[in-house]
């Protein structure tokens, strides 16, 4: 089972494998009583009870494996979630497939005057916004040209990579259980998270909801009808 969603201009999030579903959560919880499913109504009620009282260890029995392509600055935020397992492309080993994230014209945002880590409304399609995109594209190409020059002159990949900017796309595999995935989504789909990582988080929620619909519904209910920044 593979489900893939394109994100940003060149990125994606791909669901490679799933172990478990809502019934996995139910049976993991009921094993305490040497019992299993008692029918849809009772099982759905149990999942709601688990979520409401934060008895979330049964959710850890469901796991998801992902393949992600995102800019380095998104990767850095993602890897702060240390409950995930990661394996990432290494620019010590390969210099192939160098690509850069370029925000579309109209998507540059103002710095928030109240929150030093956040942005606010887009600048809009004005002249400055267009210049930013053009200049960033020029800068990315300049960095790539210098990177190739260093490699051509025999500089080791592990040193040459230092000239590549934070807009560089990286690819990694990631594995996470359902409990920690919902924690990630709760933080990264929030309107206070950076817009770029919100797009990955929103896509992941859309992808898992058909697999664990009862659990996602209970999670939303216990988070006051939680909706992502995009209204999902």
Q: Are 205 and 232 in contact (CB under 8 A)?
A: yes
**Looking at the structure, do residues 13 and 84 belong to the same domain, yes or no?**
yes
Q: Which residues are catalytic?
A: 188
Whether 177 and 155 share a structural domain: no
Name the 3-class secondary structure at 134: helix
pLDDT score of 232: 60
The yes-or-no verdict on residue 122 having pLDDT over 90 is no
Q: Which residue, of 146, 163, 180, is where some domain finishes?
A: 163
Q: Is residue 232 part of a domain?
A: no
The region of weakest confidence among 7-11, 45-49, 139-143, 220-224 is 220-224
pLDDT (0 to 100) of residue 73: 97
Looking at the structure, tell me whether residues 8 and 65 fall in a common domain: yes
229 within domain boundaries: no
Indicate the range of 77-81, 83-87, 147-151, 192-196 predicted with least confidence: 192-196
In a domain, 200, yes or no: yes
* Mean pLDDT estimate for the chain: 92
What are the Cα distances from residue 173, in Å, to 12, 65, 87, 130? 12, 7, 5, 34
Tell me which of 120, 146, 163 is where a domain ends. Answer: 163
In Å, how far are 85, 163, 224 from 43, measured between CA atoms?
30, 54, 21
Indicate whether 7 and 119 sit together in one domain: no
E runs forming strands in the chain: 3-7, 11-19, 63-71, 85-88, 109-111, 119-122, 169-177
Same domain, 75 and 29: yes
User: Is residue 65 located within the same domain as residue 159?
Assistant: no
Name the residue range of residue 135's domain. 109-163
**pLDDT over 70 (residue 123):** no
Do 123 and 159 lie in a common domain? yes
Check residue 104 and report its DSSP letter: P
pLDDT of residue 220 exceeding 80, the answer is yes
Please give the Cα distance from 181 to 81 (Å, whole number).
10
Same domain, yes or no, for 150 and 183? no
Ranges 34-48, 92-106, 172-186, 211-225, most confident? 172-186
Q: In this structure, are 144 and 177 located in the same domain? A: no
Tell whether the model's pLDDT for residue 115 goes beyond 80.
Answer: no
pLDDT at 229: 61
Asked if residue 187 has pLDDT above 70, the reply is yes
Q: For residue 228, tell me if it sits in a domain.
A: no
Q: Are 159 and 175 found together in one domain?
A: no
Question: Checking phi first, is residue 216 left (phi over 0); if not, alpha (psi -120 to 50) or beta?
Answer: alpha
Looking at the structure, tell me whether residues 114 and 137 fall in a common domain. yes
Q: What's the number of domains the chain is made of?
A: 2
Residues 11 and 83 in one domain: yes
């Amino acid at each position: 089972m593979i489900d893939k969603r394109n994100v940003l201009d060149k990125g994606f999030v791909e669901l490679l494998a799933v172990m478990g579903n809502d019934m996995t959560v139910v049976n993991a919880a009921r094993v305490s009583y040497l019992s299993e499913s008692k029918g849809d109504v009772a099982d759905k009620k149990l999942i709601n009870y688990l979520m409401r009282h934060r008895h979330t260890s049964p959710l850890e029995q469901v796991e998801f494996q992902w393949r992600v392509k995102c800019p380095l600055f998104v990767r850095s935020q993602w890897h702060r979630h240390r409950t995930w397992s990661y394996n990432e492309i290494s620019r010590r080993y390969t210099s192939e497939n160098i690509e850069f994230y370029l925000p579309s014209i109209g998507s540059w945002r103002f710095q928030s005057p109240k929150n030093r880590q956040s942005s606010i409304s887009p600048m809009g399609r004005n002249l400055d916004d267009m210049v930013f995109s053009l200049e960033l594209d020029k800068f990315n190409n300049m960095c790539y040209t210098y990177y190739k020059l260093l490699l051509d002159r025999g500089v080791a990949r592990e040193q040459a990579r230092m000239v590549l900017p934070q807009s560089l796309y990286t690819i990694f595999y990631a594995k996470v259980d359902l409990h920690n995935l919902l924690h990630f989504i709760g933080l990264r789909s929030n309107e206070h998270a950076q817009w770029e990582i919100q797009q990955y988080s929103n896509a992941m929620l859309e992808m898992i909801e058909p697999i664990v619909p009862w659990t996602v519904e209970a999670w939303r209910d216990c988070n006051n009808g939680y909706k992502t920044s995009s209204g999902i």
